[in-house]
Amino acid sequence: MLAYIIRRLLLIIPTLLGILLLNFVIIQAAPGGPVEQMIAKLEGFDGATSRISGGGAEVSVAGSNYRGAQGLDPELIAEIEKMYGFDKPPVERFWIMLVNYLHFDFGDSFFRDASVISLIEEKMPVSISLGLWSTLLTYLISIPLGIRKAVHHGSPFDVWSSTAVIVGYAIPGFLLAIMLIVVFAGGSYLDWFPLRGLTSNHFEEMTLGQQIVDYLWHLVLPVTALTISGFATLTLLTKNSFLDEINKQYVVTARAKGLTENRVLYGHVFRNAMLIIVAGFPAAFVGVFFTGSLLIEVIFSLDGLGLLSFEAALNRDYPVVFGTLFIFTLLGLIVKLIGDITYTLVDPRIDFESREG
C-alpha cells in the first residue's frame, strides 16, 4: 500500500503540470487579455492624465503623446505589457509561473489590490460553509434513504420517495434558490430567513451562542438550494448498490445461519455496498466545494471562491485564475487519493498491489 501511495503522489506531478499547461495555452490564446483591456480603457480618455498602478508601475497618459484617433504610443503599450509580464515570450512566462508555484508564490491579482493567497483566504469561509454543510447533509440523508428504499424495494414508500428525489433533481439549484427567497425570505409570502450574507451586520456584538444561531440561520436557504438537487444521484446509487449485494449468495448464507436482518444488512452488506459510495465522495465534495455554488453565491450575495474564480476568468485576471487552478487541482488529486485509501478502510480485503499485479 505504501508503494502504491508513493506512485500516486509521483503521478500528481505530471498530471498537475499537464493541466496547467493545457489551461495556459487556452487562456493565452483567448482574446481580451489584461493588456487589451487596459488599452481599451486608456483609449476612452482624451488628453487626461491617468495613472495605471499595479506591480509597482505607473504610467502617465498625458506624457505619452496620446493623440486620440492616432492610438496609444507604442512605448506606452510596451510599458503596459511589461507591467503585466507580457514582455516575455509564453514559454518563459510559463516557466517563471511554475518556479514560483513550487514555492507557493502565486503573485498578486492584476485588478485587486491583494495577493492571490489573501483573496483565497478571504473567500474560503463562504465556500467551506456551503460545501461542507451541503455535502454532509446530502450524505446523511441520501445513504439512509437509499438503504431503506433497497430494503423496501417496490413498496409505496419506494415509489413516492423516488418521485420526490427525481423531481428535486430536475429543479435547477438557482431556480430553487429563487423560489426559496420568494417564499421564505421576504419575497411575496414569509419573511423567516435573511436574504443575503453569511452573518448579520451586528455579528461581532453577539454572544457565542447567538453567533452560532445567526450563522446557521443564514445558511438554511443557500444550503437547502445546494442540497436538494444532490439527493437523487446519491440516493439511487445507494439503493442500487445495496440491491446488488442483497441478492448475492453470501447474504442468503448469512440469513440461513439465523442472523438478524440488521446484522446481515449492516454487518455484511453495508461494507461491500458502500465501496462505490466511498469512491464517489471525493468528486462530489470537490464539485460542490469549488464549482457548484457559483450561482447560489450570486443569488444570496455570498462572496466565495466560486464567484472569485468566475470574475477572474471574465476579467482575465491570470494570477487568480492559475493560482486557484493550481490549488484546487492539487487538492482534488490529493482528495482522490484519499478516496482510494478509504477503500481499504471500508474493506481491508482490498489490495491495490495485487490488483495491479
Residues in CB range of 236: below 8 A, 6 or more apart? 146, 162, 165
In this prediction, residues 263-270 reach a mean pLDDT of 79
pLDDT value at residue 349: 66
Complete domains list, the chain, with CATH: 36-88 (no CATH), 116-356 (1.10.3720.10)
**Helix/strand/coil percentages in the chain, nearest 5:** 70, 0, 25
Reported confidence tier of residue 353, pLDDT bands at 50, 70, 90: low
Where would I find the H helices in 30-115?
34-42, 74-83, 90-102
**Strand, coil or helix: what is 54?**
strand
How do residues 274-296 score in pLDDT, each as one tens digit? 777 776 666 666 665 555 567 78
> How many CA atoms, within 13 angstroms, populate the side-chain half-sphere of residue 215?
14
Residue 141 pLDDT exceeds 80: yes
Reported confidence tier of residue 44, pLDDT bands at 50, 70, 90: low
Residue with cell 460542490: 288
How do residues 209-259 score in pLDDT, each as one tens digit? 888 888 888 888 888 888 887 778 788 888 888 888 887 888 888 888 877
Mean pLDDT of the chain: 77
Residue 47 pLDDT exceeds 60: no
pLDDT value at residue 193: 84
C-alpha–C-alpha distance, residues 353 and 6, integer Å: 12
pLDDT value at residue 285: 64
Of residues 66 and 246, more confidence is placed in 246
C-alpha cell at 150: 433497497
pLDDT value at residue 280: 66
How do residues 295-328 score in pLDDT, each as one tens digit? 788 888 788 887 888 888 887 888 888 888 888 8
pLDDT value at residue 347: 63
pLDDT value at residue 177: 85
Determine the Cα angle at 225 with ends 224 and 230, to 5°: 90
% residues pLDDT > 70 (the chain): 78
How do residues 166-184 score in pLDDT, each as one tens digit? 888 888 878 888 888 888 8
**Strand, coil or helix: what is 163?**
helix
**Strand, coil or helix: what is 57?**
strand
> What amino acid occupies position 242?
F
Residue with cell 438478524: 260
pLDDT value at residue 65: 42
In this prediction, residues 88-113 reach a mean pLDDT of 84
In this prediction, residues 10-27 reach a mean pLDDT of 87
Residue 3 pLDDT exceeds 70: yes
C-alpha–C-alpha distance, residues 299 and 88, integer Å: 40
Q: Is residue 259 a contact partner of residue 267, using CB atoms and an 8 Å limit?
A: yes
Question: In angstroms, how far apart are the furthest CA atoms of the chain?
Answer: 93
Under DSSP, the state recorded for 52 is -
pLDDT value at residue 291: 52
Reported confidence tier of residue 64, pLDDT bands at 50, 70, 90: very low
